[in-house]
Chains A and B, each alone.
Chain A
Amino acid sequence: MTVLNNRISLVALACAFVSPALLAEDSSLTNPAISAVLNGYYQTAERPLAETAEGFGLGETELAMSANIDDMFYGKVTAVVEMHDGETELNLEEAFIQTMAMPAGFSIRGGRFLSDIGYLNNQHLHTDSFTDRPIAYRAFFGGHYFDDGVRLNFVAPTDLYWTIGAEAFKGESMRAADEHGEREFKNVGVYTLYSKIGGDIGDNSSWQAGLSYLRNENGQVTAHEEGDEHEDEAAEEGHDHSHAASYTGKNTYGADFVYKWAPNGNYKYQNLTLSGEYYRVTDFVPSDLHPEDAPSKDYHQGWYLSSVYQFTPSWSAGVRYGEVDTQELHGDHFHGQKLKESEVSLAWHSSHFSTVRFQYTNQKGTNFDGIEDDNVFTIQYIMSLGAHGAHQF
């Protein structure tokens, strides 16, 4: 991550993105699509592992450009500007190329991109119906998992949608904590496998279900030396705004589904989305841990269920419930932790391109950042400028 405090650099970056727009009459399949997403909020309390902090703040301000490079390749760059603790951070969230002319339903993507595991992970944050990702995503994927790597994907030639893919990533943001800097990490740290199926039920409904597996070579925790607790907590404070996963393990198993309904399949006036995901992270216990220090459970798990109902073209409302159940290493032993989040959101859409959202979250925690029973209110806007790319199902 590069930290840029220089405003001129940001302006230069913005110009680099915008100037082709002046040359192109409009954006289309053949000309670059250039867009920016503006995102700001006010939040009444801290949320654990969230991208948003207490008080006024800017969320991810996104600048994206995508186009067909030639008849073989498509490319996309998404730069994200974030403010944290008075510093402006510039991060590249996507910088990838994808093949377009491979035969038999195969495609390869390389560079930096969002992993295709799960339902939400490959979607951009600004398309979410809630102000933050579910706690399971924040705990296990650092909010959303993007990384440098390569993907091979296959779509089967069947009427029932079936896709299967495999990815390999550097995995830096998925490494287990290493405060002494003594560990040897593997260069290719993360491998994933995923498969999704989906289809329609009559004219009114569509669905998709997926299974995913993430192998994290660097996910197993190493045992701390005695008397490390203070360092440990200090290290964690600093983690609050990084995109690193907070709870890792060697193996992560996931299952996801989404169901969408609209009368006659017409999404303009009313539609309903039901979605849910479950993750279980295993093999995180240090191999040299004394057996009597073993955690009460040898897995972390987290899940959420959400439902969003758009009841007029301008209004939508959502409810979401999610929880995580994790084991945190404190020195030489584990503490069980749990967080439950119940959320309600109401959003007003002046058009397709602007959203103002109100959200209420109740957080109930057990040994989780000192949270017992907290209420968080958030007001947020998300607005997109320019030729915005299509959104996924």
Chain B
Amino acid sequence: MRINSNFVKAAAAALYIACSGFAHAELNVFACEPEYAALAKELAPNANIYSATTALQDPHQVQARPSLIAKMRQADLVVCAGADLEIGWLPMLQMKSANAKVRSTDQGLFFAADQIDTLDKLASVDRSMGDVHAKGNPHIHFDPNRLLTVANALSAKMSQLDPSEAANYQKALADFSTRWQAAIPRWEEQAKALKGKKVIAYHTSFRYLFNWLGIEQVADLEPKPGLAPTSGHLASLLSRAEQKDILAVVVASYQDERGANWLGEKANLPVLMLPMSVGGNDASQDLFSLYDNAISLLNGVK
């Protein structure tokens, strides 16, 4: 039998790549939301990064589905928003995936909200208030300064888990910080005219964005957090809108537009769908373009 020498070479090369792959195993990162997958990509460009959700999915209502268990089983690092955003599904994934490495924040578990001060912390919580988060608003990724603090802590976590690559993580962090810090004043300049504007929005999804840019959310399409807009509540928003000081009705990419469209039509207000995260629309491909796009969409209605 003649053996094809090219085939042998190819097989040897494949084997070499496979083995070297094991020898220098890259960090397996499981991100709960796409913004943290994007941040991990900035800080560890060579890591295997998996996002459990997309910007079109409500992160409060994710199913602890088999594919997520399988991915978490293989993760070295799990990065989530925290502040109980994932309380409905993360504990089940941790239980089912039997991966001891990602159970505790001492090891491979990272909560972004733990690194910063959240807005709207509540002293007491009652379910009659709706599905509120006692630990404050978890949608922190639209605050560039807080996100930079998170990036620093996440990079340190990566170095802790994978010390042999620490120099590369530090380099990536320095590079990201430089570009991010250069972008912040540019975004603030672009958004200057938005300061003091009033909006009606769905949920408190963009709480940090509005807080940063000085936009005021004067009413919420949800009567209470987690509850769908009701016709009675929308009618009350219509009378609020008649004060004629509202810039736009804002919904996130995973939220239902119907209530917003009704209000927009009745009150003659523009309805703006902002990307909740990276991938929320075609223009938002990474954290930088996500911010660019959100600000330019807001500017488009002023």
Contact = CB atoms under 8 A, between A and B. Distances in A.
Contacts of B125: 26
A265 B129 CA distance: 27
Nearest to A208: B66
Interface string A28-39: 110000000000
A364 B227 CA distance: 40
B286 to A, nearest CB: 19
A166 B60 CA distance: 33
B226 A155 contact: no
Interface string A311-344: 0111000000000000000000000000000000
A25 B134 contact: yes
A385 B70 CA distance: 31
B69 A199 contact: no
Contacts of A98: 95
A103 B100 contact: yes
Contacts of B89: 390
B67 A199 contact: yes
Nearest to A264: B56
A267 B70 contact: no
A266 B57 contact: yes
Given A28-B84, A351-B226, A198 B95 contact: no
B147 interface: no
Interface in A51-80: 71, 74
B92 interface: yes
Interface residues of A, number: 53
B98 A198 contact: no
Contact of B64 (A105, A160, A314, A392): A392
A390 B90 CA distance: 8
Contact of A390 (B54, B57, B88, B256): B88
Interface string B51-80: 001101110111111110111011000000
B298 interface: no
Given A313-B228, A390-B88, A197 B254 contact: no
B104 interface: yes
B67 A200 contact: yes
A161 B100 contact: no
A173 interface: no
Contact of B135 (A26, A155, A269, A353): A26
Contact of B95 (A74, A203, A208, A385): A74
B163 interface: no
B73 A199 contact: no
A102 interface: yes
A159 interface: yes
A392 B91 CA distance: 10
A375 interface: no
Nearest to A197: B66
A199 B66 contact: yes
B99 interface: yes
B100 A389 contact: no
Contacts of A390: 64, 87-92
A101 B100 contact: yes
B62 A267 contact: yes
Contacts of A158: 70
A314 B230 CA distance: 11
B58 A266 contact: yes
B198 interface: no
B63 A26 contact: no
B73 A157 contact: yes
Interface in A107-164: 107, 153-163
Interface in A195-249: 196-200, 203, 206-208
9 contacts: A29-B94, A155-B97, A158-B70, A199-B67, A266-B61, A268-B58, A313-B227, A351-B227, A390-B89
Interface of A: 25-26, 28-29, 71, 74, 98, 100-103, 105-107, 153-163, 196-200, 203, 206-208, 260, 264-269, 312-314, 351-353, 385, 389-393
Q: Which 6 residue pairs are nearest across A and B when measured between Cβ atoms?
A: A198-B66, A161-B66, A390-B92, A161-B70, A268-B58, A264-B56
